Amino acid sequence: MASWQQYLQDNRARFLNDYLDLLRIPSISALPEHAGDVRRAAEWVARRLEAAGLEDVRVMETGGHPVVYGEWIHAPGKPTVLIYGHFDVQPVDPLDLWSSPPFEPAIRDGRVYARGASDNKGNFVLAIFAVEALLRGEGRLPLNVKFLLEGQEEIGSPQLPAFIAEHKDLLACDLVISTDGANWGEDQPSVSVGTRGLCALQIDVRGADSDLHSGLYGGTIQNPIHGLGRLLDSMRGPDGKILVDGFYDSVTPLSPEEKENLARIPFDEGTYARSLGAPGTFGEPGFTTLERAWARPTLEINGIWGGFQGEGPKTVLPNEAHAKISCRLVPDQDPEEIIERIRGHVERNAPPGVQVTVRAFPGSARPYVVPRDLPALRAAQEVLSEVYGKEPYFVRTGGTVPVLALFLTHLGAHTITVAFGVEDERFHAPDEFFRLKNFDRGQRGYARLLDRLGGE
Amino acid sequence: MASWQQYLQDNRARFLNDYLDLLRIPSISALPEHAGDVRRAAEWVARRLEAAGLEDVRVMETGGHPVVYGEWIHAPGKPTVLIYGHFDVQPVDPLDLWSSPPFEPAIRDGRVYARGASDNKGNFVLAIFAVEALLRGEGRLPLNVKFLLEGQEEIGSPQLPAFIAEHKDLLACDLVISTDGANWGEDQPSVSVGTRGLCALQIDVRGADSDLHSGLYGGTIQNPIHGLGRLLDSMRGPDGKILVDGFYDSVTPLSPEEKENLARIPFDEGTYARSLGAPGTFGEPGFTTLERAWARPTLEINGIWGGFQGEGPKTVLPNEAHAKISCRLVPDQDPEEIIERIRGHVERNAPPGVQVTVRAFPGSARPYVVPRDLPALRAAQEVLSEVYGKEPYFVRTGGTVPVLALFLTHLGAHTITVAFGVEDERFHAPDEFFRLKNFDRGQRGYARLLDRLGGE
């Protein structure tokens, strides 16, 4: 028997090799030709869970890419945590922008370069190593642990909602720890306490039967592009405020405490805009850029098209125009309700002389926010402060992680996201990397977190 | 010697055969592979002018498709008219919608079906036949005649402006008769007294360096599509009135007389909208649909694009949006001035957080209107009344015929458009046709018009 700290130190080289092994599997979930590799990754993960001492380990079918489950539930009276992560990765194109091949992990300057190095392989393996260190080193875990590792996160987890709903008993837990996140900086931890929801739709505007000669007919009937432009412009004021009736009604305002937490995070408007190549920041008045990014809903046109798009002029009066819109939602906005509000707005504001239809896209997601008094949040804060020597920022993410709301709905469990990568590690881009400094820190962090949640 | 009437009657079969011969030449100016056919048509036309008795006939180079010139100028003290038309035609696709091959003219129910049957071969050959009948039948013309027949009208006559400017002396005349028009109905003549001008431009809106994740960045910077939509919406009110500052300043209002003339033309809003498949008519308040189509300027978006256009949703915050705009102009609007007014509007209304540029396209054209007291207009009215047994409508065309303003600028001559096709004869579409009834009527009409203009 050894302390988990000793065990981690003794097995450092082996764990690093295991991590590099996993990175060599090109488990790209978006590309059908890599479906076998996603399954290979699932089997690798299953074997690794078994090696760590987990029980009832299985590769389970979803109808799409598989998930891997494993558990150790021999701590009666102690809480049960479900550790979530994903072993699939994003595609790698453009390949020529990589400094080394994406599935041949290369260590340079204390960093591991490979697709998935940080998102999410580099994070969830650390939790497996931490569990192994506790279990093999000290002979037992301080609480009950289940793993749910999936293979389709990068394509939006299409089969996961049904899978979770159908396996409520197997996955039953008191808390979810998601490893799918990142910290604010190399030495600045952060805890994400919320993600935005999502809904999306398309607006189609139709005029005449076919494109018309703008000389012969221009001025006599409505131009669908003008009609669509009018409609879209009516949805959002020039200042960025969304004008759809009731759009903000269900938004829970930020508490003074959270506003204060966000204001504490160093943020420079100019640096931010320059990093994106934009002339400046812009958005709903009365809120800071971070507040708008994380805690305010959006209505963005994702695409628009109609008429002639080629070189030079073409004097056509087009007969169709289309726009795609998506909204990021914050608690307690409901995606279906927002779609209906937009539909109502379009009906009330439909321009004359054209026909307008609204089609909602499937795949909407509810926003999620961790209750600020959740004891596990306090535990995460303390552990991160300990391993980084610095208080974490409480942040949110503007993106959407549908699984968080699903865990709450189906398992009744809240999720804390604790990860050890950093936001700048080029997720989804060429030369994705992970800092080896956090490879060790992460294993210690997850072990401490489990200890702390088990009541030490 | 014979009267021109007798000559036309005696040569009817030959003239019809000549017309069908010309229709067999696939002189599509838009398609490079038909450049040889356009030239073949030019040579056919040149031979036909010579056969008619015209002198100094030449196929002349423009740098693009050629023009054909011919003259008979032996009537000292009499005015000189320049007869304009074009021997090139539109492409024929979709070919499968033709009832018979487009370049194998077929006579069915008193109609000749072929590409170019009406636009414009079927009209200008009638003027050649009329000139031949006068010249060969009566031995002389009642006035001086020049022909200018071009081969690039259907592609916007790119080299014609320079050609006219360089051949002012050769083309010098007192009046232009354009054969490139059409009548209101089979038995209802009309005279077009105006065409709209044209200017066109593109607006480009740019935000960040690249497309961004709408979750991570949505709400923090301006979305170029929203910015563009705002800008476009600011240019035209929901009622169709153009809001660009000073846009209408140079518009000459319709005289009460012309308003009355237009009101006399039978027009049904419902039938018009249904014929286009549109839910209804629409446009600038305070004007009838015909007034808007012919005598009011327009600002139409011809195309718009930005962001994602594929199937389903994509939650992207796009970094570019683009729109093409064209304006139809009426006297005395100046295309360059309108471009500058739009540019000024864009500058004053540029949305924050994005960069906006305006690029004017070449190929603008001035509007043209025939002075209502032009004696030749009265002559055309009388001749049409005579050959149709019905007073013509005074109409305008909403389209643009740049050459009309060029004749005025470079030759100092006004143009009357007198043609014998009908507006419903499917120009530019499958199954274009020409009514044989007007084949005879047109020859008589052009002969009478020349007589009348020569002072009989």
Instruction: State the DSSP string of A244-304.
Output: STTTTTTPPPPPHHHHHHHHHS---HHHHHHHHT-SS----TTS-HHHHHHHS---EEEEE
Q: What percent of chain B has pLDDT over 70?
A: 100
**Residues A363, B213: C-beta atoms closer than 8 Å:** no
Asked, for residue B406, whether it belongs to a domain, the answer is yes
**Burial group, residue A201, by CB count within 10 angstroms (0-12, 13-18, 19+):** buried
Q: Identify the pLDDT of residue B93.
A: 86
Residues 391-410 of B with CB under 8 A from A: 397-400
Q: How many CB atoms lie within 10 A of CB B389?
A: 9
**Residues A292, B220: C-beta atoms closer than 8 Å:** yes
Q: Which of B215, B238, B313 sits opposite A363 (nearest CB)?
A: B313
> Do residues B312 and B375 share a domain?
no
Q: In the structure, what pLDDT confidence band is assigned to residue A20 with cuts at 50, 70 and 90?
A: very high
- Boundaries of domain holding A140: 4-195+367-453
> Do residues B18 and B62 share a domain?
yes
> Do residues A16 and A87 share a domain?
yes
Beta partners for residue B198, in sequence order: B328, B365
Q: How far is CA B182 from the centre of its chain?
A: 10
**Residues B215, A328: C-beta atoms closer than 8 Å:** yes
A:B CB pairs within 8 Å: 274
List Cα–Cα distances, B349 to A146, B232, B247, B356, B368, in angstroms.
58, 10, 15, 10, 31
User: Which of A315, A339, A400 should we substitute to test contact with B (largest number of B Cβ atoms within 10 Å)?
Assistant: A315
Q: Identify the pLDDT of residue A164.
A: 98
Give yes or no for residue A250 having a pLDDT over 90.
Answer: yes
pLDDT, tens digit (0-9, with 9 covering 90-100), for B335-360:
999 999 999 999 999 999 999 999 99
**Residues B398, A218: C-beta atoms closer than 8 Å:** yes
Q: Identify the pLDDT of residue A456.
A: 65
Asked, for residue B376, whether it belongs to a domain, the answer is yes
pLDDT, tens digit (0-9, with 9 covering 90-100), for A402-447:
899 999 999 999 999 999 999 999 998 899 999 999 999 999 999 9
Last residue of a domain, one of A337, A360, A383: A360
Q: What percent of chain A has pLDDT over 70?
A: 100
**Residues B219, A293: C-beta atoms closer than 8 Å:** yes
Q: What is the mean pLDDT of residues B240-248?
A: 97
pLDDT, tens digit (0-9, with 9 covering 90-100), for A318-349:
999 999 999 999 999 999 999 999 999 999 99
Asked, for residue B164, whether it belongs to a domain, the answer is yes
In B, which residues are within 8 Å of A293 by CB distance?
216-220
B322 contacts chain A (CB < 8 A): yes
Strand-strand pairing, A300-307 and B55-60: unpaired
B446/B122 Cα distance (integer angstroms): 13
Q: Are B423 and B182 in contact (CB under 8 A)?
A: yes
Q: Are B321 and B351 in contact (CB under 8 A)?
A: no
Q: Identify the pLDDT of residue A363.
A: 83
pLDDT, tens digit (0-9, with 9 covering 90-100), for B41-88:
999 999 999 999 999 999 999 999 999 999 999 999 999 999 999 999
> Do residues A29 and A132 share a domain?
yes
Asked, for residue B262, whether it belongs to a domain, the answer is no
A364 contacts chain B (CB < 8 A): no
For chain B, counts of helices (H) and of strands (E): 16, 18
B333 contacts chain A (CB < 8 A): no
Q: What percent of chain B has pLDDT over 90?
A: 92
Q: Which of B304, B307, B355 sits opposite A225 (nearest CB)?
A: B304
> Do residues B204 and B94 share a domain?
no
A219/B242 Cα distance (integer angstroms): 11
Our count of domains for chain B comes to 2
Asked, for residue A25, whether it belongs to a domain, the answer is yes
Asked, for residue A276, whether it belongs to a domain, the answer is no
Q: In the structure, what pLDDT confidence band is assigned to residue A244 with cuts at 50, 70 and 90?
A: very high
A304 contacts chain B (CB < 8 A): yes
A271 contacts chain B (CB < 8 A): no
Q: How many CB atoms lie within 10 A of CB A448?
A: 20
> Do residues B401 and B447 share a domain?
yes
In A, which residues are within 8 Å of B309 by CB distance?
303, 305, 322
> Do residues A105 and A208 share a domain?
no
Nearest C-alpha neighbor of A418 from the set A456, A454, A383: A383
Single pTM value for the model: 0.89
Give yes or no for residue B456 having a pLDDT over 80.
Answer: no
B349 contacts chain A (CB < 8 A): no
> Do residues B309 and B390 share a domain?
no
The residue with greater pLDDT, A93 or A279, is A279
CATH number at residue A204: 3.30.70.360
B433/B444 Cα distance (integer angstroms): 20
Asked, for residue B259, whether it belongs to a domain, the answer is no
**Residues B230, A210: C-beta atoms closer than 8 Å:** no
Find the Cα–Cα–Cα–Cα dihedral B432, B433, B438, B443, rounded to 10°. 70
